[in-house]
Every structure is written in C-alpha cells, then in structure tokens.
Structure 1
Amino acid sequence: MTLRHPTRRAVVGGLAAAPLVLGSGAHAQGSGPIKIGELNSYSRMAAFAVPYRNAMQMAVDEINKAGGIKAIGGRPLEIVFRDDGSTPGDAVRVAEELVTRENVAFLAGTFLSNVGLAVADFANQRKTLFLATEPLTDALTLAGGNRYTFRVRPNTYMQTKMLVDAVKAKGVKRWAIVAPNYEYGQSAAANFKKLMGEAVPGFEVVAEQFPALGRVDAGATVGALAQAKPDGIFNVLFGADLTPFVREGNTRGLFERRTVASLLTGEPEYMMPLGEETPEGWITTGYPWEQIEDPKHKAFVAAYRARFNDTPRLGSFLGYVVVYLMRDMLEKAGSTETEAMVKALEDLPFETIVGPAIMRGIDNQATLGAWVGETTLKGRQGAMKNFRYVDGRDYMHPEAEVKAARKD
C-alpha cells in the first residue's frame, strides 16, 4: 500500500518475526511442491501481516486438500515466508536468497511502497515473476513497472479516485491534506489535488502536513491544520500515526463540521485501535467484513474464525484472494516456467470471494475493488456504514497515461 501499520491488528506477536516455511519440506522445484517465496514486513507490520499469512496458509491447505495444481501433475503449493526487513536493501537480499537458495518458482508479497519498488526492480533484472500483493504506489505499475511485476490491490490512484467520487458532490472547496512523508503519502496527496481539481471548480489546498512515517507529532500537526480553517480534510495517515492524530483532533474539535475523506481508515487493522475514539462520518475506504453478505465471503469468514479464533482483517481477505489467484495462474500456465506464468497472468480473469476480477495486461494491475463508506461507532468499536463495494475496473489509470508512463 503502500503502507499500513502496526495498526493493522495486533496479533500473536511471537509469530511475526521468525522466518517460516509452509507446507512440506524443501524439494527440487521440478518434482516436489511448487515453492513460492513470500517476503513481507512480518515484524514491523505484524498487525496486517500475521492475519495475511494466516489466510494464505488456510488457502494453501484448501487447495492442496483439493488435489493441488492439477495442470502440473497435482503438485501441492508450498509458501516459504521470510521477513523483508521493511527496507529496500534487506528486501532485495531476501529476494535473492529465496530465488537462489530456496529455488522458488516466483516471488510474492511486500508491504511498503519503497520495498515493493525495490523488489520489482530485482524481479526485472533477474527476469523473475513478482506478484506484489500490498504496496499501493502507482509507480509499481506505471513508471517503475515491468513485465515481470503484477499488483493485486487497488493502487493509490484508484482508491483516491474512489474517495473523490464520494465527496465531490458535497462541493467542498477549501481542503487541508495530511499524509505520511514518503512515496505513498506524497502520491496520494498529488492524486487528490489532480482529481479534485478536475472535479470541483474552485478547489484549493489551504494547508499541507507531511509528518515522518511512524513519528507524527499529533499536537503540531492538528494545530497547523486547525489554523488554516479548511472546510475539508484529506487524511492519508494510518497505522501508528492514525490513533494519536484522531485523539488529538477529537480533543481539539478539528473534525467538527468538516468533511473528512480518509484513505484506509475503514480497514479493521486501523479501526480496531481507535475503539471508542472512532470519528463519526469520515468518508473512507475499508473492509466491513461482518456486514458483507456474499455467500462465498461468509463461508471464508466462518472458516477463518473457526481456524484462528479471530476475526478477519483486510490482510486476511487479501492473503486468501492472492493464493487463489496464484492457483488460477498456475492452472492456466500449466508450468512453473517464468515466461509461461507471466503470459498466463496477462489479462487473466480470476474469481474472488467478492466477485470476479481481471489482471489488466496493459499495466499488470488487477481490477480488484474496495469498499467505500463512512466511519461510525457501534457500541465501543468503530465500524463502517452506508458502504458499497466499488469495482476497481471503473477507477483504473487511463490507458493513454499508462502507455506514456511505462518504459517496457
């Protein structure tokens, strides 16, 4: 996502740090299990990454129980999990180890945008398939894109455009922006300015705050925003930065009588730590898992809760969807050869527990959507209301922009 943070759900802390192997023991790639190298910020972003890993394990076990990858002789899947260190340098080193020592068929994962871009560059140099699951940076499928890198989640542009569509009719013109000072936050702010400028005549930004990721000074940030007296606030803070920002903003009345559009706040990872401090009426993207009525999704929730004695998070949903996408790709490819898998992924239609999606071939960006709604308090816990699932294919970068940006 680019980012999301510790907020993503504090879970079994002990699971987060150690490298892990899923499935049977190591075998030669040509005969035993199909090994997939999954590197992620399991230590730093445990609240998101542990539920993500749990759901991946559940999906792997389901697929193997059903006969493995039938187009490749019924071979089972095995995921080799490694911590990426949350830095580009560490991630590239881990990716190299997965490819050369573990002999994985392809790479998947990463969380932070800068880490995802580094692994994408590694994949391009090594001509190794990389299925980026969480980083949201637009660059991953635009200027920094390559034919070996594919992204599953809706990117920063897509989710920002969803929020712009949700708020533009309100006619709010004077906005303040607060975002973490790294690629994801800067990209979200730039997208908001561009899209709101096109959608709302007279739109202007009266204040911008870019605190360091994970080190927000909530008092100073809220004070600067309040001083500008905006009519709307676009918030991109998440994880460890979100809770102190909301707490200070609630205390000082920053959000009263103002429209707030907020990326990611509706995700359980970030909503749960807010608890009773959850603000009312923020327009946000999120994951209202307990209110989604699709039968396939309800079956997933029941299985996840039964197995892990916990409620799913967005990370859980994503991990489960990703493994079934891997299955569909391998069944179509009929091989673990990189070129066959890349070709299979291009314009691949795949089913998810909330409906169909496609991996768009022009930029290797999936059309998976997101839920857009409003924050609310239910009892002592935050939730979403007035939400709807928004199909990602309606919010993709225009093809002309993709062609102008990509170099491959």
Structure 2
Amino acid sequence: MPIRLHFLVPALALSLLAPAAFAQGSYKIGEINSYKAQPAFLEPYKKGMELAVEQVNAAGGVAGRTLQLVTRDDNGNPADAVRAAEELHAREKIDVLMGSFLSHVGLALTDYAQQKKRFFLAAEPLTDKIVWGEGNRYTFRLRPSTYMQVAMLVPEAARLNKKRWAIVYPNYEYGQSAVATFKQLMAAAQPGVEFVAEQATPLGKVDAGSVVQALADAKPDAIFNVLFAADLAKFVREGNTRGLFEQRAVVSLLSGEPEYLDTLKTETPTGWIVTGYPWYAIKTPEHQAFLDAYQKRFKDYPRAGSVVGYNAILSVAAGLKKAGSADTEKLIAAFRGLEVATPFGPITYRAQDHQSTMGAYVGTTAQHSGKGVMVRFQYMDGGKFQPSDEEVKKLRPAAP
C-alpha cells in the first residue's frame, strides 16, 4: 500500500500522528552537501529540509520518534563527502544518509553506500549513472535526472525545427550526461539534425568571452546550454554583449530556476526554453500550502532547492514509517514503490531503478518588473519521461 504524507494540506488528517507523547529517541538523518560551493541552491535547500523536519515533528514524528537533522559540508569534493559519511555513521550514529548536489560527489556517495551496504537517498545530483550504470540496491534518487529533464525539453527543441545546434556545458559528469542524452533524443526526434560546435568548460571557471566567440563563429541556428550558477550568469552577460542570442533559439537546462533567474535580473534573456520552478504562479492546493508555510517560516519565497530539500525529508519520513525502522534492508523494501505527497503532487520511487517520478516545469524566460521569470509553463510529470522497463534493464544490468 503506498504511503502518503499529508503535511501539505492542513485539512487532511496527518498520517504520521502518534500517541500524545513522543516515543523515546529520534531518527537521525545525516545529510552531506556542497553548502559552501553552491550556496544559491543549497541555502534554500537547507531551509526546505528544516521546514519539513519541523512539520513532521509537529505532527507527531514517525511512529512517535522525532526527526533530527545533522548536516556536513563536502566542499564539492568526493573524497570529503565519503569521509563525512563515515564520520556521520561512526560518530553521530545516524540512521539514514541523504544529500549531495554535484553529480560526481553523488556518485562517490552512491559507491560508498554499495561498499558499506548502507541506505542512501541522493536528493539532488542529476547524473543518470546514479540510478542506471552505477546504480545499486542501496541508492535511491529524488530529483528528476538529466535524462528526464532533457527529455522534457526535446519536444520543444524539435518543434523549433532548427538544423544546426551548438552546445555548451560544464565539463563534468552532469554536463556530459545531459549532452549525451540531448544528442541521442534530438537525433531520434529530428533526423538530420547537426551539432556544429561544442564547448566544454571547467566547472565554475568558464571563459565566457572565448566560449561565446567560438559558438558565434560556428553560426548555429540554435544553442543547447547546460551551464548553471555563476557560469550561467557569465555566459548570458557575454552572450548579450556580443549578440549571440539575437535571432537564435536557446534551449537551456535548469535556467528557469529562481536561484539563477534572480541573479540575472534585467539581463535575463527573453524566449529561452527552460526547465525551472515558477513558484509565483503555481496554483495548486499542494503547492499553495507549501508556499504559505515556507513564507511564514522564513519570510522569503522558495527556490527550486527549497522543494528538493522539503521533498527529501518527506521521503525519508515516509520510508521510515513504511519500513517501521531504519534497518537498511527494510528501508530498501519500503522505498521500492514508495509514494509521497509533495508540493508538486504525488511522486513514486520506481522499483525498477530507484528513481522518483518527481517532475519539473518547462516554459520560456521573460522579464517582469526587473526580474527574470518563467512564462507559458506547464508541469511535466517525471513518470512520463523515463525509459521503458526493458530499456532500464539494459541500462542497469548490475544492480538487483
């Protein structure tokens, strides 16, 4: 039977209510992330986690046990992440491990989970390898993967009917994975498409001037961009200055997230096709309840990271409730097919690859009152943008 959490709609009965007093003890959740390296996303992410912990505990905890969150910074370094995981288990005696943002760090923790036979919820890293090529029975992933988000964009990209595409991406696991999927799906959706230029930049160190010039020299009809954070801001600024985006279509992964649009402000390009999170215009009861609670608690609006952090804690709470304990094997069994109510609606953790069906919004960029926004958007259910079970078996051959 699917487990649903109902913190989002106050009128509903709270499913985690326990006897009036908490049972003795708590579940300790150890969380590892690149807080110093990626603050734009991870500061809101931490707030989302904190809100969810407070709501779960206020509703009676999980079977009468409170949730306790213990965080560590991985410095954007895989080795530091693994050391933090060991310390959390050995010293803090955590019950559940979750977190990570950068894909190569997430892969290190995925391997750690397999080597140590410990449950791990990868909240944010997007590389497909986490659930496919390097997936294992101990690791589950919340956020829609690079494959899923690129698959959401490709129909829009194909409708542009542009033949010559240029590509720019951060040269590490996430960027490489996104580009490989884009090429594969675009070639299938639009036979004859050409990729005329490719710029792979060091993460966090983009030489925007030379990148923009190289793309312009290739004279593409359209651009697929995978840069994010400070690299995205530099690329947009230089591209605007040199006219790269004039009369040229751009499809851009993650660029509709407020973490990045807020930085661009009046430099936000108009008409880019993006995935993102238009928090200011989502009119569903689930999201409104989350938005109201978040703004009341933090006197601020949520970012995409806020939703990911919130959903991650709700997922852990639902898994613990269904499992009846923090035992690794029981958690694995509980997460396979686990359903969780979220601000984006119900999501399910697929048994076949441990990937959740959390979706994303696809729309176009615009400016409103000096800020970057998403317009003409729609929610894409992540469950509709994943390979078939037969394809998953081929992609995930070594993971039972």
TM-score (norm 2): 0.92
Q: Deviations over 1:129-188 (max 9, x none)?
A: 000000000000011100000000000011011110122122111100000111111111
Report the counterpart of residue 9 of structure 1 in structure 2.
none
Q: Is 1:110 the counterpart of 2:108 in the alignment? A: no
Report the counterpart of residue 334 of structure 1 in structure 2.
324
Shift of 1:332: 0.7
Q: 1:90 aligns with which of 77, 80, 88?
A: 80
Report the counterpart of residue 367 of structure 2 in structure 1.
377
Shift of 1:31: 5.0
Q: Is 1:316 the counterpart of 2:309 in the alignment? A: no
Q: 2:43 aligns with which of 36, 39, 50?
A: 50
Q: Is 1:145 the counterpart of 2:135 in the alignment? A: yes
Shift of 1:401: 2.7
Report the counterpart of residue 203 of structure 1 in structure 2.
193
Q: Is 1:279 the counterpart of 2:269 in the alignment? A: yes
How many Å separate the matches in 2 of 1:106 and 1:331? 13
Two-structure CA RMSD over aligned residues (Å): 1.1
Q: 1:62 aligns with which of 55, 64, 70?
A: 55
Would you say the 8 A contact 2:119–2:328 is kept in 1? yes
Q: How does 1:178-327 map to 2 (within 5 A)?
A: 178-327=168-317
How many Å separate the matches in 1 of 2:369 and 2:246? 21
Q: Does the residue aligned with 1:393 lie in a helix, a strand or coil?
A: helix
Length, aligned pairs only: 376
How many Å separate the matches in 2 of 1:273 and 1:140? 30
How many Å separate the matches in 2 of 1:120 and 1:358? 20
Report the counterpart of residue 354 of structure 2 in structure 1.
364
Shift of 1:405: 2.6
How many Å separate the matches in 2 of 1:160 and 1:192? 6
TM-score (norm 1): 0.91
Shift of 1:397: 2.5
Q: Deviations over 1:84-106 (max 9, x none)?
A: 12111000000001111111111
Q: Which amino acid aligns with 2:318?
A: D
Shift of 1:367: 0.5
| Runs of 5+ unmatched residues, structure 1 | 1-29
How many Å separate the matches in 2 of 1:184 and 1:336? 30
Would you say the 8 A contact 2:344–2:359 is kept in 1? no
Q: Which amino acid aligns with 1:358?
A: T
How many Å separate the matches in 1 of 2:267 and 2:104? 31
Shift of 1:398: 2.7
How many Å separate the matches in 2 of 1:85 and 1:346? 31
How many Å separate the matches in 1 of 2:228 and 2:188? 26
How many Å separate the matches in 2 of 1:59 and 1:139? 28
Q: Is 1:35 the counterpart of 2:25 in the alignment? A: no
Would you say the 8 A contact 2:170–2:203 is kept in 1? yes
| Runs of 5+ unmatched residues, structure 2 | 1-22
Report the counterpart of residue 89 of structure 2 in structure 1.
99
Q: Which amino acid aligns with 2:98?
A: A
Q: 2:68 aligns with which of 57, 66, 78?
A: 78
How many Å separate the matches in 1 of 2:290 and 2:394? 40
Flag as ranges the 4+ runs of structure 1 deviating above 4 A.
none
How many Å separate the matches in 1 of 2:255 and 2:33? 21
Q: Does the residue aligned with 2:148 lie in a helix, a strand or coil?
A: helix
How many Å separate the matches in 2 of 1:205 and 1:44? 32
